[in-house]
């Protein structure tokens, strides 16, 4: 069944979009990430204009993280205070990101910015996660169960403006937390990703936050950041397609439920290895896009229609 999207201004196959978003939803439910880093490239791949894809993924991530955040909230596996600090930075970052997005769109280099950012960001994070998870799997194979090492407190914990986060058993400066969340809000708005796949490892590795509360807290922060991103994109560039958003949401919330169930049977390291592989696969796909001799080096862009 074909449906004409009012903002993207083209007809899409409803079944295809639903199937695509269900698949992405499955992965997002499994790993507690919004799935934007998969959804946005897929949408661009099926022909949705990049600006509409990036803007419309925000409401989809909103819905996906509502479901997740509520589930973690019920289990109290969520550090609200930490989430609020991250959120403050996230909204500032989103605002800056949307402004940058609009500027790049005017200059006509939006696609290049999106592609290069995906390659560097996903490549770097994917590799880091990959190396880390393979190491810990090998360690476990050799039978050495690593006791949770008491690492020295990193220097940035001691910066000013320290705050206590009882639920995360943490007492640290908010400066590094806010810096992280501004950065993630920024790339999130530019690339149409929630940033869960960056927030989660950052909270675990950089801030030593217990794994139990990390996913819930990151979902909480993503939820509110993406509400802000939806509204900011709608107001500043009018690229949010509500019909496409509903299709993506319906597919992904259902997929996410099954993904969350599948995740219960996977061990921590394997879990991280899988996510690393998915992130790397997307990065490789983008490397092909800019690194391989294109089938057709030419492309056509319509700059302004005069009617």
**Residue 290 engages another protein in binding (rule: CB under 8 A):** yes
DSSP class of residue 194 equals: -
Instruction: Let me know if 263 is exposed, middle or buried by CB neighbors in 10 A (0-12, 13-18, 19+).
Output: middle
Contact 28, 256 (CB under 8 A): yes
Of residues 151 and 301, the one with the C-beta less far from another protein? 301
Q: How far is the CB of 101 from another protein (least distance, A)?
A: 15
Cβ-count burial 184-220 (b if 16+ within 10 Å, e if not): bbbbbbbbbbbbbbbbbbbbbeebbbbebbbbbbbbb
Contact 213, 168 (CB under 8 A): yes
Of residues 67 and 168, the one with the C-beta less far from another protein? 67
Q: Provide the mask over 30-69, with x wherever binding to another protein is found by CB under 8 A and - wherever it is not.
A: -----------------------------xx-xxxxxx--
**Residue 178 engages another protein in binding (rule: CB under 8 A):** no
Of residues 265 and 299, the one with the C-beta less far from another protein? 299
* Residues 6+ away with beta carbon under 8 Å from 286: 41, 115, 118, 119, 122
Give the range of 16-24, 38-46, 176-184, 285-293 binding another protein by CB under 8 A.
285-293
CA 221 – CA 180 distance, rounded (Å): 12
**Residue 294 engages another protein in binding (rule: CB under 8 A):** yes
What are 13's strand-pairing partners? Answer: 2
**Residue 300 engages another protein in binding (rule: CB under 8 A):** yes
**Residue 299 engages another protein in binding (rule: CB under 8 A):** yes
**Residue 249 engages another protein in binding (rule: CB under 8 A):** yes
**Residue 291 engages another protein in binding (rule: CB under 8 A):** yes
CA 271 – CA 105 distance, rounded (Å): 37
Phi-psi region of 169 (alpha: psi -120 to 50; beta: other; left: phi over 0): left
**Residue 221 engages another protein in binding (rule: CB under 8 A):** no
Q: How far is the CB of 227 from another protein (least distance, A)?
A: 5
Chain residues in the site for another protein (CB under 8 A): 2-4, 6-7, 9-11, 59-60, 62-67, 70-71, 108-109, 112, 116, 227, 230-235, 238, 240, 242-243, 245-246, 249-250, 253-254, 256-257, 290-294, 296-307
């Amino acid at each position: 069944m074909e449906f004409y999207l009012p903002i993207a201004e083209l007809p899409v196959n409803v079944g295809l979009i639903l199937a695509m978003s269900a698949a992405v939803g499955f992965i997002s439910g499994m790993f507690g990430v919004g799935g934007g880093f998969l959804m946005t490239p897929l949408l661009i791949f099926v022909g949705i204009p990049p600006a509409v894809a990036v803007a419309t993924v925000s409401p989809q991530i909103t819905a996906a993280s509502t479901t997740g955040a509520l589930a973690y909230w019920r289990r109290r596996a969520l550090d609200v205070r930490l989430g609020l600090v991250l959120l403050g930075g996230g909204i500032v970052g989103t605002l800056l990101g949307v402004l940058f997005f609009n500027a790049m769109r005017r200059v006509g280099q939006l696609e290049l910015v999106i592609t290069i950012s995906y390659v560097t960001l996903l490549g770097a994070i994917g590799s880091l996660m990959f190396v880390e998870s393979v190491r810990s799997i090998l360690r476990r194979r050799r039978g050495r169960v690593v006791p949770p090492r008491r690492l020295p407190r990193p220097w940035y914990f001691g910066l000013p403006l320290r705050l206590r986060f009882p639920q995360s058993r943490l007492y640290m400066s908010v400066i590094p937390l806010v810096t992280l969340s501004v950065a993630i809000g920024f790339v999130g708005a530019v690339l149409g990703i929630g940033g869960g796949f960056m927030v989660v490892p950052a909270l675990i590795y950089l801030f030593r936050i217990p794994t139990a509360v990390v996913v819930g807290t990151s979902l909480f922060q993503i939820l509110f950041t993406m509400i802000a991103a939806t509204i900011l994109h709608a107001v500043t560039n009018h690229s949010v397609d509500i019909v496409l958003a509903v299709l993506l949401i319906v597919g992904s919330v259902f997929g996410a439920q099954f993904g969350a169930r599948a995740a219960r049977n996977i061990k921590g390291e394997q879990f991280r290895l899988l996510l690393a592989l998915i992130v790397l696969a997307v990065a490789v796909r983008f490397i092909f896009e800019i690194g391989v001799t294109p089938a057709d080096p030419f492309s056509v862009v319509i700059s302004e229609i005069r009617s």
